[in-house]
Amino acid sequence: MWPYPKVIAHRGGGTLAPENTIAAMQCGLDFGYRAVEFDVMLSMDGVPVLMHDPLFGRTVRIGEAGGVATTNAAELLQMDAGSWYSESFIGEKVPGYAQVVQFCQQHGIWMNVEIKPVPGYETQTGRVVAQVTQALQTPDARLPLFSSFSFDALMAAQQQAPEIPRGYLLDEITPDWLSSLQQLDAVALHTNHKHLTPELAQQVKQAGYGLLCYTVNTQERAAEIRSWGVDAFCTDKINLIAPDF
């Protein structure tokens, strides 16, 4: 029922490296993780890059104005995405999506690609991320799993690359969750473990879907939601929860 890894390093390296960077992917790998989740959005010129926030100020250009959708990729890919975390990561750059895909393929790392569009760019982001993924897919690499909070982005990804599976992200499971998954031809529901109940988990599983939770950071909570039928979870604590937990 769930053909993917069951424990996934959140944003590459959890809290042990600057999120959504090659250093984060390497950190997860160093802890034995062969499954990562990361965020992808589009630059002004339509290039997919790894970034969680649409606006600068937290992980790049600390305290400055500006944003991903108003900046060309050439400039984004030169931005320091590591110094906010610690001095040891000064100079770690914002990576392009293609660079990260190639890194993960090289090291046998499965990817949960969260399509995280800047508001207003949902359809374009879903389509472009799917196009780039198709172009980079190699015969011996496992298909990634797309996920998104944006229904429109996932629908665009489905139309462009129907062969790449999809998981719909909901912070709280809404009454229309089943019809949404059916429209997207999704394979899984991804949700915040804090709002999940045993009853909701059973509804999802009985409907025949995979169930992934974010972001689970203790072994006790991981074991509890597993007992409800949850298939997989993302974690920030890759040093406390083993990849084969």
Q: What does the alpha-carbon distance between residue 83 and residue 66 come to, in Å, rounded to a whole number?
A: 18
Q: What is the sign of the dihedral through the CA atoms of 130, 136, 138 and 143?
A: negative
The pLDDT value given to residue 1? 78
Residue 46 has what pLDDT?
98
Q: Which amino acid is at 181?
A: L
Asked whether residue 72 is domain-assigned, the answer is yes
Residue with tokens 């045993």: 198
- Asked if residue 241 is part of any domain, the answer here is no
Residue 244 lies in a domain: no
- The CA-based angle 114-169-133, given to 5 degrees, is 30
As a whole number of angstroms, the distance between CA 127 and CA 98 comes to 15
Task: Determine if the pTM surpasses 0.95.
Answer: yes
Domain that holds residue 224: 7-235
Q: Within a domain: residue 226?
A: yes
**215 assigned to some structural domain:** yes
Determine the distance from the C-alpha atom of residue 136 to the mean position of all C-alpha atoms in its chain, rounded to a whole number: 17
Calculate the alpha carbon distances from 245 to 48, 63, 115, 198, 216 in Å.
32, 38, 27, 20, 12
pLDDT of residue 35: 98
d(CA 36, CA 110): 6
Domain count, the chain: 1
Q: What is the pLDDT along the chain (245 residues), one digit of tens a residue?
A: 799 999 999 999 999 999 999 999 999 999 999 999 999 999 999 999 999 999 999 999 998 999 999 999 999 999 999 999 999 999 999 999 999 999 999 999 999 999 999 999 999 999 999 999 999 999 999 999 999 999 999 999 999 999 999 999 999 999 999 999 999 999 999 999 999 999 999 999 999 999 999 999 999 999 999 999 999 999 999 999 999 99
Is residue 243 in a domain?
A: no
Which residue numbers are catalytic? 10, 52
Is 2 inside a domain boundary? no
Domain CATH for 26: 3.20.20.190
Distance, CA of 68 to CA of 56 (rounded, Å): 7
Beta strands 232-235 and 166-170 are unpaired
Q: Is residue 19 a part of any domain in this protein? A: yes
